[in-house]
Chains A and B, each alone.
Chain A
Amino acid sequence: MQIRNRLLALFVLLISFAITAQERELSVTASAELKNRVVEKSKNTSSIISDFEQYKHLDFLSNDIKSTGKLTYKSPSSIKWEYKVPFVYSAIFKNNKLYINDDGVKSNINLDANKTFRSLNDLIIKSVRGDMFDEEKFDISYFVNSEAYIVHFKSLDAALNKLISEFVLTFDKENLNVIQVKMIESSEDFTLLKFLNQKINQTVSDAVFTN
């Protein structure tokens, strides 16, 4: 029984090694090429409509907290998050203002008043587009596996670091769409966003962004 357990442990170890071994760091040249392609794609993205799944991971919980909804982005900087399950809530970021509809209760927040919150929201918009290659703000490293490119953005900004210490963006290998955004806190708790059924560059009416 003991031998069987040890063999099983070895097997699990080998499998996990094999899985991590699949992800490898890109060379400097390949990293630069990927960055250029993503920036170019981002420039040509005028809108994104996508379903999303959000997972909030807190170390002490038994399960991650899952919520789902719909995201609408329109260039240059209008974005709407509509949560549908398990609560109804929408947030629109437009012209440095945040418009909230909390299951019928409407309010708005001027983001000019809070620099950190505003820069975090800017970053979230950039992360959805994939365009956050700012080497003054982030220590950036590039990886690839069989299905996707994975880019780590470690924050170099002390104020941002208190909220999010690292963004990890996962890009579809074929079309370079951002398919996952992971925001890791310094405590290592994180929020993971998965994007599904993405539609790029469809016509989006401005009326979508009215509260």
Chain B
Amino acid sequence: MRYLLISIFILVLIPSCSLSITKGLLENVPKREYIINNYFSDEEKDYIYKAKFQLLKHHFGGILIIKKIKTNHHRMVFTTEFGNKLFDLEFIEDDFKVNYVLDDMNKKFILNMLEHDFQTLIAQNNKVEKQFSNELEDIFQSNRDNYQNYYVFSKQTNELTKIVSASKNKEKLIISFLVTERGISTSIKLSHEKFKAIMDLNYIGKMD
């Protein structure tokens, strides 16, 4: 009985501690109420990226276009290189609107994934629940829907370098902001742990 209880205790405890993003880190009292992702925050700018998507051995490409319409309102369109639209989405507050999606992609699990991935990528104001630190980084936890999103800021540059989106016990999506120039993240990598899917985004829009 004692072993059974210990086993149950361990089973319950381990998952809640097993996220590598916060493993071994001490929790601090949050220094701020909100953390801000400013990479898609300028209403004057058209954020245009060449996208390369890899799923297992398959490769797809396209153009990802992100535009902030107003506060808490973004529009996002994905086209082929030729300009044919594959999807046209809108994120308004916490609502998600599908303006257009190619018939072949009009499936619930695909739309759910697009909503979660891209909402995580662009959400500008995120309420801080917890804060962790290591020598080089401050990590802020913010919860959205059923996910815990961890925003990693470099202590040296104060820049957002990574967002890790996790369910209770597993990291699902990692967004790495690899290069930043003049406030624009010019190289971004989105990796899906479960599907072994990777999307590379390289900025091709105007810099000024």
Contact = CB atoms under 8 A, between A and B. Distances in A.
Contact of B67 (A60, A86, A103, A163): A60
Interface string B25-58: 0000000000000000000111010101000001
A185 B88 CA distance: 13
B92 to A, nearest CB: 13
Interface of A: 54, 56, 58, 60-63, 65, 67, 81, 83, 86-87, 89, 91, 100, 102-103, 105, 107, 114, 116, 120, 124, 162-163, 183, 185, 187, 189, 191
A120 B86 CA distance: 14
B83 A54 contact: yes
Contacts of A162: 103
Interface in B109-137: none
Interface in B176-204: 202, 204
Contacts of A87: 50, 81, 202, 204
B65 A61 contact: yes
Contact of B58 (A81, A107, A120, A189): A107
A203 B103 CA distance: 40
A187 B100 contact: yes
Nearest to B88: A187
A56 B204 contact: no
Contacts of B93: none
A62 B61 contact: no
Nearest to A86: B204
Interface of B: 44-46, 48, 50, 52, 58-61, 63, 65, 67, 69, 75, 77, 79, 81-85, 88, 99-100, 103-104, 202, 204-206
A195 B128 CA distance: 52
A86 B204 CA distance: 6
A142 to B, nearest CB: 25
A54 B204 CA distance: 14
Nearest to B58: A107
What 10 pairs between A and B have smallest CB-CB spacing? A191-B83, A86-B204, A87-B50, A102-B61, A56-B83, A107-B59, A61-B46, A89-B81, A105-B59, A60-B75
A91 B81 contact: yes
B118 to A, nearest CB: 16
A189 B85 contact: yes
Given A61-B67, A62-B44, A102-B59, A81 B85 contact: no
